[in-house]
């Protein structure tokens, strides 16, 4: 058990049958932290720390509700990833008004999860981007390892903490200023357009943060781009944390993201990048943040895109890292 994690509003009935949906696959294990799961999912329903008004705190539940629309069979890889053992641990408990208390709860929950669910892959569903700072603090603290970050984002998230506090504009800056992560170990992919002030670019240079613009990525392609990033990280760090700010997507693809912009990444490009990320077993965990389901289209196109992104990582990890389980094909 963890006193910092509780049951979410949404629960579901699993039904094991031939044509499984994702909701039939993921085991509800609310607050019950045990070993033996390949992957554990935790909801982090915090968005009071978002610079733009956001109901990203609702995303964990909308994420769960959308599982019914997806099968556990991937036609692209001709695999059924139902053989991965996945648990949903529930949601980190939040304080109603005290954001710092919320961040402390996230950090403590992540400590508990790593202790009681060892050797799992840790997937966090936000929430806004402020949650990444306490998550990564807990990872460095628990593992004692040098942690690299691969960040998919339209923004650097390097705003100064003195002026902006622990918001979704500062998570990377918080980690760099406190020495939890080194600037040279951060790789931001997806920067584009007119959304980062020159002072932030200067800060990125001073910290040594690696910047890969959307245009550079498009020249390289997903496979080569992620191979380059992971190969250089392998020389420096022990493990990697991947953070996906859904605002990296073009506003057309992500109406449900308060800070999405024109000129952003297409959803198929994000899926291709995440598929490549799924090949690397020194990736320790990841999060998906800043998706506000209340702003989404009626058809919930952004929520579904978020689930698709998550399932893409699951498929790739299943194919590339769990070959002993990967014996069943159609």
CB 296 within 8 A of CB 302: yes
Instruction: Pick the stretch among 119-127, 129-137, 139-147, 301-309 that binds Mn ion (CB under 5 A).
Output: 129-137
How many whole angstroms separate alpha carbon 295 and alpha carbon 90?
Answer: 23
How many whole angstroms separate alpha carbon 314 and alpha carbon 184?
Answer: 28
CB 311 within 8 A of CB 264: no
Cβ 251 to Mn ion shortest distance, Å: 15
Cβ 60 to Mn ion shortest distance, Å: 18
Cβ-based nearer residue to Mn ion, 105 or 243: 243
Cβ 259 to Mn ion shortest distance, Å: 7
How far apart, in Å, are the Cα atoms of 268 and each of 94, 139, 256, 271, 300?
A: 33, 30, 17, 5, 17
* Token digits of residue 108: 């403590």
Cβ-based nearer residue to Mn ion, 89 or 259: 259
Ramachandran area for residue 78 (φ above 0: left; ψ -120 to 50: alpha; else beta): left
* Token digits of residue 269: 């490009």
245 makes contact with Mn ion (CB under 5 A): yes
Instruction: Pick the stretch among 74-82, 183-191, 238-246, 278-286 that binds Mn ion (CB under 5 A).
Output: 238-246
Cβ 147 to Mn ion shortest distance, Å: 18
Q: Count the site residues for Mn ion by CB under 5 A.
A: 4
Cβ 191 to Mn ion shortest distance, Å: 11
Binding mask 256-295 for Mn ion (x = CB under 5 A): ----------------------------------------
How many whole angstroms separate alpha carbon 307 and alpha carbon 314?
Answer: 11
CB 207 within 8 A of CB 160: no
In Å, the largest CA–CA distance within the chain is 56
By beta carbon distance, the residue nearest Mn ion is: 245
Cβ-based nearer residue to Mn ion, 157 or 276: 157
Cβ 246 to Mn ion shortest distance, Å: 9
Cβ-based nearer residue to Mn ion, 88 or 157: 157
DSSP state at residue 9: S
Q: For residue 90, what is the enclosing H or E element?
A: strand 86-92
Instruction: Pick the stretch among 9-17, 48-56, 86-94, 153-161 that binds Mn ion (CB under 5 A).
Output: 153-161
Cβ 157 to Mn ion shortest distance, Å: 4
Cβ-based nearer residue to Mn ion, 57 or 114: 57
State phi, psi for 304 to the nearest 5 degrees: -65, -35
Cβ 168 to Mn ion shortest distance, Å: 6
Cβ-based nearer residue to Mn ion, 38 or 245: 245
Cβ-based nearer residue to Mn ion, 24 or 153: 153
Cβ 175 to Mn ion shortest distance, Å: 13
Cβ-based nearer residue to Mn ion, 156 or 319: 156
How many whole angstroms separate alpha carbon 58 and alpha carbon 76?
Answer: 30
Instruction: Pick the stretch among 2-10, 31-39, 128-136, 206-214 that binds Mn ion (CB under 5 A).
Output: 128-136
157 makes contact with Mn ion (CB under 5 A): yes
**Binders of Mn ion among 18-77, rule CB under 5 A?**
none
* Token digits of residue 84: 């991965």
Q: For residue 171, what is the enclosing H or E element?
A: helix 171-177
Of the candidates 38, 88, 112, 153, which one interacts with Mn ion according to CB under 5 A?
Answer: 153
How many whole angstroms separate alpha carbon 145 and alpha carbon 259?
Answer: 32
The residues with which 285 forms a beta bridge, in sequence order, are 122, 241
End-to-end CA distance of the chain: 38
Contact residues toward Mn ion (CB under 5 A) are: 129, 153, 157, 245
């Amino acid at each position: 058990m963890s006193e910092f994690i509780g049951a979410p509003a949404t629960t579901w009935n699993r039904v094991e049958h031939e044509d499984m949906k994702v909701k039939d696959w993921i085991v509800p294990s609310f607050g019950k932290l045990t070993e033996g799961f390949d992957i554990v999912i935790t909801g982090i329903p915090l968005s009071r720390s978002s610079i733009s008004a956001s109901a990203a705190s609702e995303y964990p539940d909308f994420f769960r509700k959308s599982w019914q629309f997806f099968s556990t069979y991937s036609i692209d890889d001709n695999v059924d990833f139902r053989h991965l053992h996945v648990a949903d641990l529930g949601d980190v408990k939040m304080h109603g008004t005290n954001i710092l208390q919320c961040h402390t709860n996230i950090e403590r929950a992540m400590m508990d999860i790593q202790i009681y669910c060892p050797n799992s892959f840790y997937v966090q569903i936000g929430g806004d981007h402020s949650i990444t700072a306490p998550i990564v603090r807990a990872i460095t603290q628990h593992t004692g390892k040098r942690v690299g970050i691969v960040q998919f984002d339209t923004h650097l998230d390097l705003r100064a903490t003195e002026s902006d506090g622990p918001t979704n504009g500062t998570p990377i800056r918080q980690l760099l200023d406190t020495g939890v992560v080194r600037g040279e170990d951060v790789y931001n992919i997806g920067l584009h357009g007119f959304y980062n002030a020159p002072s932030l670019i200067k800060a990125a240079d001073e910290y040594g943060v690696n910047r890969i613009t959307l245009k550079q990525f498009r020249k390289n392609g997903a496979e080569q781009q992620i191979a380059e990033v992971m190969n250089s990280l392998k020389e420096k760090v022990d493990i990697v944390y991947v953070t996906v700010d859904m605002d990296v997507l073009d506003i057309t693809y992500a109406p449900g993201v308060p800070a999405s912009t024109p000129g952003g990444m297409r959803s198929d490009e994000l899926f291709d990048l995440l598929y490549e990320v799924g090949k690397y077993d020194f990736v320790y965990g990841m999060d998906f943040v800043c998706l506000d389901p209340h702003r989404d289209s009626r058809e919930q196109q952004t929520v579904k895109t978020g689930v698709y992104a998550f399932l893409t990582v699951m498929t790739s990890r299943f194919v590339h890292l769990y070959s002993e389980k990967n014996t069943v094909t159609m």
